[in-house]
Structure 1
Amino acid sequence: MLAFACAGCGAVLTAKVSRVELPDHAGQKYGHDLVPALLEPGTYTVDPGNGRPGRPETPEEEGGVRLLTLHLDGPPNRIGLAPGDVRGTVVLTDRLGGCCCGWDGRYGPNLACAGCGGAVATRVDDCGHWQVVWLEPDAVRPVAVEGPVQRVMDWTELPGTPPVEPAGCWSPVWEAAIAAALAHLMVASEGRRVTVPDGPVARAFRPAIDGLLPRGLPERRLALAGPGVPEPVADLALVPRHPQTGAVWPGATAAAVPLAAGVWARLAFADDRRLLLASPRMPDGVRRDDPPPPLPHLPFRPDGRVFAGTLERLGATREPWLRRIHDRVRDAPFEPPFG
């Protein structure tokens, strides 16, 4: 295991942490309520960035009023942690830009090392943002610490992520994960029509495929593949991406389209059939107090902003036909098939 220390004075700034994959919903803006932490306690992730250099905006004042200049891109290889795993920092009060209920990181690093005062991290916890602290890669250094070696889960142990929130809305984690996989699918399709067998995968992907790719021949077939799933006869295989290592399942013979493991596992193994009573009434003396599973209020829609951002990170916008799709979704991320 390791911790991160200030590069300036050596003060330890974090708890012991183990590395996990960067979630697809990192950077996602969702709704207007407070949302949970991006990462589990005791873990960290690295954001390679999207190739565009980030630069913190300097708060400017005009007539005694601070102008709100939005800072969107951070430097590559920032290190993300759960806010509760950060130690020994103090707030930089002149960099606390936010929209409503917290800080959104618009002015760059807003946490400093308590030992030397150097800016070391950016805390994001405003409403609609997944709560996270991003350590600046040049301001910290890893330090080896004693602790158990992280056990890497076997492919057969992949946990599933529920698709529906308790309130009855689609999970934002699913909306982001499907959007990211859809961007990979666009690249793998090479602009040809993609067909999907009926079932959970079709319900998640088919509306977006129909709205983005042309109809007609030639076609490419998409099917689930992975641990515990029979090898499909398909051109494109929707396979799990490991939640710790980020590795793509290597067993597919078709072209791999990676999908977050938790969402993949739910698509592959969850039984979403509705149970019916075998008789018109419950037997005497039997009470049922378990609530029915939550049902979404609206059809599933992937996150358009995550989709466009993933295409950028893949460098897919160099292809003219993909550039047209990217620009269309970037400019109207809530229009069909994403809204």
Structure 2
Amino acid sequence: MALPPEAHASVHHVWMPALMEPGTYAVDPDPWGRPWRRREDMDPSEAADLGVYAPLWPLATGPRNVLVLSPGDTRGTRLLPERSGDSCLGIVAGDEPSLLCAGCGLGVGFREDDCGVWQTVRYDPGAVAPRPLGGPPPAAPVRPLPPVDPEGHWEIRWTAGAGTALARLLAASGGRPLALPTGLPTVMFGRAVERLLPAGPPSLTVGQAGPGLPDTDADIVLVPADRRTGEPWRPPGDAVAVPLPAPVWAWLTGPGETSPTPVSGTLPAQVVRDDYPHPARPGYPFRPDHRTLRRTLSRMPEVRRPWLRALYDRL
């Protein structure tokens, strides 16, 4: 699978679940882990080789193509917790691999499980090798993801996906006002667009496109990202495609959640509901994740344009 946008989201002091779904893995194309450096301390060409075109801290300069998977999908390894880095209540990656091959003792990767950190195993691509199981992989089903999590907060996968999408919306705008679709797209991006782009009559329109949707004449379209490659669905025509995570896009463009209440009649006597529907909106505004927004912008060559660099610096 493509590495989910929420892998780089800013999460506070809460326990996190596994980042990857069971039976899946991702290859992180960007440098990961130590040593950490400041973008300002690097030659621009050196930073560009790492895929970074604007100041960013901290900047990982470790290996590329690290394999990321769910801890429950690991076999044949043993954990050395004493090799954890500077953590809070759990373990994070340190200077040396904390996961060792149970047979030969070779360091093969890192286990992370701390507050505010997704539970992951990251394998060093030079220490493991893929072995095909034979036959095509099963198709990954796309299940619409509600925007509100079980605790009544904005779902982090929505805020992280909105952070990466907002970066591409801003770049596609050329610094001009945007007209957003009504409903959830305005909830997601409206406040940020008003704050970051000039006021005035909209110059470009934003719409929604994807499998099963009618054609649109919008200049910029929100489309689903392929779950395996991360590439955006390609709309017909000249519209600029801005990808959203497929489960987010599916909810955004679908009919939404239907009520669990029976169509007719009432619940039997003495039955107590334990499936009360979530609130349609939390009691605070939607905010695209700031960390994924800045990280995505810093890795887009377009950020070298003076107007977009000035906007980036304002962030």
Match of 1:260?
Answer: 245
Shift of 1:104: 2.0
Does 1:96 pair with 2:96? no
Residue 26 of structure 1 contacts residue 130 of structure 1 at CA under 8 Å; is this kept in 2?
yes
Shift of 1:288: 7.8
Out of 102, 117, 120, the residue aligned to residue 114 of structure 1 is: 102
Q: Within 2, Cα distance between the matches of 1:71 and 1:109?
A: 20
Which structure shows the bigger proportion of residues in strand conformation?
A: 1
Question: Aligned to 2:64, what secondary structure does the other structure show?
Answer: coil
Give the counterpart letter for 2:295 in structure 1.
Answer: G
Match of 1:149?
Answer: 136
Q: Within 2, Cα distance between the matches of 1:83 and 1:36?
A: 10
Which residues of 2 match residues 201-212 of structure 1 at below 5 A? 201-212=185-196
Does 1:228 pair with 2:207? no
1:147-203 CA-partner distances (Å, limit 9, x unpaired)? x521335xxx63211111111111111110011111111121122111113212111
Q: Unaligned regions of 5+ residues in structure 1, if any? A: 1-19, 58-69, 277-281, 330-339
Q: 1:162 to 1:41 in 2, by over 3 A?
A: same
Which structure 1 residue ranges, 4+ long, deviate > 6 Å from structure 2?
Answer: 272-276, 282-288
Does 1:308 pair with 2:294? yes
Give the counterpart letter for 1:173 in structure 2.
Answer: R
Does 1:135 pair with 2:120? no
Question: Aligned to 2:129, what secondary structure does the other structure show?
Answer: strand
Question: Aligned to 2:235, what secondary structure does the other structure show?
Answer: coil
Does 1:323 pair with 2:309? yes
Shift of 1:246: 2.2
Q: Within 2, Cα distance between the matches of 1:272 and 1:222?
A: 24
Question: Aligned to 2:131, what secondary structure does the other structure show?
Answer: strand
| CA RMSD of superposed structures (Å) | 2.9
Q: Unaligned regions of 5+ residues in structure 2, if any? A: 37-57
Q: Within 1, Cα distance between the matches of 2:169 and 2:194?
A: 13
Q: Within 1, Cα distance between the matches of 2:232 and 2:111?
A: 30
Give the counterpart letter for 1:250 in structure 2.
Answer: R
Q: Within 2, Cα distance between the matches of 1:33 and 1:54?
A: 22
Give the counterpart letter for 2:167 in structure 1.
Answer: A
Does 1:186 pair with 2:186? no
Residue 28 of structure 1 contacts residue 129 of structure 1 at CA under 8 Å; is this kept in 2?
no
Match of 1:297?
Answer: 283
Match of 1:167?
Answer: 151
Q: Which moved more, 1:177-186 or 1:283-292?
A: 283-292
1:220-258 CA-partner distances (Å, limit 9, x unpaired)? 110111112211221001111022232321234211111
1:263-305 CA-partner distances (Å, limit 9, x unpaired)? 11111114479999xxxxx979777835132341311111000
**What is the TM-score of this pair, normalised by structure 1?**
0.76
Sequence identity of aligned pairs in percent?
42
Q: Within 1, Cα distance between the matches of 2:308 and 2:122?
A: 31
Match of 1:40?
Answer: 21
Give the counterpart letter for 1:300 in structure 2.
Answer: F
Q: Within 2, Cα distance between the matches of 1:27 and 1:218?
A: 32
Q: Within 1, Cα distance between the matches of 2:243 and 2:285?
A: 23
Q: Within 2, Cα distance between the matches of 1:175 and 1:296?
A: 13
Q: Within 1, Cα distance between the matches of 2:258 and 2:187?
A: 14
Match of 2:199?
Answer: 215
**What is the TM-score of this pair, normalised by structure 2?**
0.82
Q: 1:101 to 1:71 in 2, by over 3 A?
A: farther
Q: Which moved more, 1:93-102 or 1:76-85?
A: 93-102
Question: Aligned to 2:130, what secondary structure does the other structure show?
Answer: strand
Match of 1:76?
Answer: 64
Give the counterpart letter for 1:312 in structure 2.
Answer: S
Q: Which moved more, 1:187-196 or 1:102-111?
A: 102-111
Shift of 1:76: 1.4
Q: 1:327 to 1:95 in 2, by over 3 A?
A: farther
1:59-82 CA-partner distances (Å, limit 9, x unpaired)? xxxxxxxxxxx9955421111000
Q: How many residues align?
A: 288
Question: Aligned to 1:143, what secondary structure does the other structure show?
Answer: coil
The structure whose RCO (Cα within 8 Å, separation 6+) is larger is: 2
Question: Aligned to 1:134, what secondary structure does the other structure show?
Answer: strand
Q: Within 2, Cα distance between the matches of 1:123 and 1:93?
A: 9
Out of 158, 183, 207, the residue aligned to residue 142 of structure 2 is: 158
Does 1:55 pair with 2:34? yes
